[in-house]
Amino acid sequence: MMKKFLFYVISVLMLAACSDDTPGLTPAEKNERTILAYLAANNNLDGYIQQNVIWMYQGLARQKKQSTLVIYYKPSSSNPSIRQAEILVYKTDGYGNINNQPALADSLQNFRNIVAQADVHTAIAGVSTDAAVMEANLKEMQTIAPALSYGLLFGSHATGWLEGEPVHNSGISTFSIGVDGVYVINLPEFAQTMERSFSNSTLDYIAFDACMMGTTEVCYELRNATHYCLVSAMETPADGIPYHRLMDDLFSANVNWTSVCSNIISYNRSEGLWGTFAAVDCTKMEELAEAVKNQLTTHIEELNALDYTTIQQFGVTSSYASDFKYFSFDVAEVIKALNGGSLPQDFKQILDETVVAQDCIDTFNQWPYDIITDKDKFCGIGMYLPTLVNRSWNNYYRSSIAWYKAAGWDSVAASAGN
């Protein structure tokens, strides 16, 4: 009799443990989105990128769904917590536990402790900006954490579409996309690497925690690699993206890009920093290219007479930074200038469909990042003017950047005899 009674009690307890009325013991819903972070930190940003990882961890710990964050981290030689490139995996159960342990208390959330809590995988060795190494590691990260869709956080130095040069050269120092020691990767090769690394349109977005990526040239090159790009038209503060404020949105199947841009700019403003950010629908870039081409070829006379020094541009020139002035101009302001100061409605429509969210700070007044003083002159995305600006970049731009022909600059150049 006693055995039957004990069996009855145990059965009741087991049923209660499996009940939906006990949320603490019920598996949380699983996120469809996995976030990957590719952090090329073998440079002077390593300390800042470590803080970015802490913010990612904090945002992950607050998730109310089972969620996975996979980080590729290539450290500098001075990093005491990671000695070589590693893949760090973090999974939350949606109830405050990460990798089957309680999330670290606030006072313990430093980079060393967060690395120690990771499920660590040795990364494919090599230069993190080498296309083959990048592809191999991104594919390995997907093998470790299969998902229906991915968001990619890319953290490093960058200079957008500009051709990369070894960073130890004197004079202008351009990074293109990513820096590993003195090694970089250029935009066309980066885009091709992204296309090879993700199949079946699984890469929903790339969030660039990197400078000067908010251009038509970048987003057009990536049109077959990802749906959205989160980008800055300007150089970005070294602090980086405040991930602790964004992870809810970034894990969402339908990212609220307005909220993302607003949160980044709100953080920068609260810290006394500058900033621009925009979300671009890369699937609309061919339509935008056609719209720009129509405007340029229709207004060749006005374009040739345009005083580009009066147009809102996004490049910084300073005594301690390279000369990027005039590498990119606000797209809407250029088209307005060709149309007597007004933006044609059909062009505005496609621009609004392409740049789905944007925000900026126009009150920052400390040189050299005080170049935006009017929000109305920021549409979210810039482009170069290769037939007007005479810089050493032009040969590379004409020969290597797909936007050059897509937007009709080759036709403009031919009509001008250039």
Number of alpha helices (DSSP H) and beta strands (DSSP E) in the chain: 15, 15
Residues 268 and 330 reside in one and the same domain: no
Does residue 21 lie within any of the structural domains?
no
**SS3 label, residue 388:** coil
Task: Sort strands 228-231 and 183-185 into parallel, antiparallel or unpaired.
Answer: unpaired
User: What is the pLDDT, as a whole number, of residue 318?
Assistant: 75
- Host H or E run for residue 379: none
Same domain for 120 and 143: yes
Helix (H, G, I), strand (E, B) or coil at 94: coil
- Residue 7 has what pLDDT? 38
Say whether both 305 and 257 belong to one domain: no
Domain co-membership, 332 together with 254: no
The pTM of this model reads 0.92
Question: Do both 319 and 261 map to the same domain?
Answer: no
- pLDDT the model gives residue 219: 98
Residue 303 lies in a domain: yes
- How many Cβ atoms from other residues are within 10 Å of residue 140's Cβ? 17
Give me the tens of pLDDT residue by residue for the chain, a chain 418 residues long. Answer: 444 444 333 343 333 343 333 345 578 888 889 999 999 999 999 999 999 999 999 999 999 999 999 999 999 999 999 999 999 999 999 999 999 999 999 999 999 999 999 999 999 999 999 999 999 999 999 999 999 999 999 999 999 999 997 655 545 577 889 999 989 999 999 999 999 999 878 999 999 999 999 999 999 999 999 999 999 999 999 999 999 999 999 999 999 999 999 999 999 999 999 999 999 999 999 999 999 999 999 999 999 999 999 999 999 987 665 789 999 999 999 999 999 999 999 999 999 999 999 999 999 999 999 999 999 999 999 999 999 999 999 999 999 999 999 999 999 999 876 6
Residue 216 in any domain: the answer is no
How many domains is the chain built from? 2
Q: 306 in a domain, yes or no?
A: yes
Domain check: are 249 and 294 in the same one? no
Statement to judge: residues 182 and 41 lie in one domain = yes
3-state secondary structure of 30: strand
What's the confidence (pLDDT) of residue 321?
A: 59
Residues 70, 87 contacting (CB under 8 angstroms): yes
Check residue 82 and give its pLDDT.
Answer: 94
Tell me, yes or no, whether 198 and 80 share the same domain: yes
Q: How many CB atoms lie within 10 A of CB 310?
A: 9
Angle of CA points 205, 401, 182, to nearest 5°:
75
Torsion on CA atoms 155, 159, 163, 166, rounded to nearest 10: -70
The DSSP H or E segment spanning 392 is: none
312 and 197, same domain (yes or no) = no
Domain contains 219: no
Q: Are 184 and 300 in the same domain?
A: no
- H or E element that contains 13: helix 2-17
149: containing domain:
30-210+238-273
Would residue 228 count as lying in a domain?
no
Domain-embedded: residue 250? yes
Residue 281, in any domain of the structure:
no
pLDDT value for 166: 63
User: What does the alpha-carbon distance between residue 13 and residue 408 come to, in Å, rounded to a whole number?
Assistant: 72
- Are residues 50 and 90 both part of a single domain? yes
Are 295 and 404 within one domain?
yes
Given this model, what pLDDT does residue 408 score? Answer: 98
Q: Which of 251, 273, 295 is the last residue of a domain?
A: 273
Q: How far apart are CA 133 and CA 342, in angstroms?
A: 47
Cα distances (Å, whole numbers) of residue 304 to 46, 166, 291, 338, 406: 44, 34, 18, 10, 19
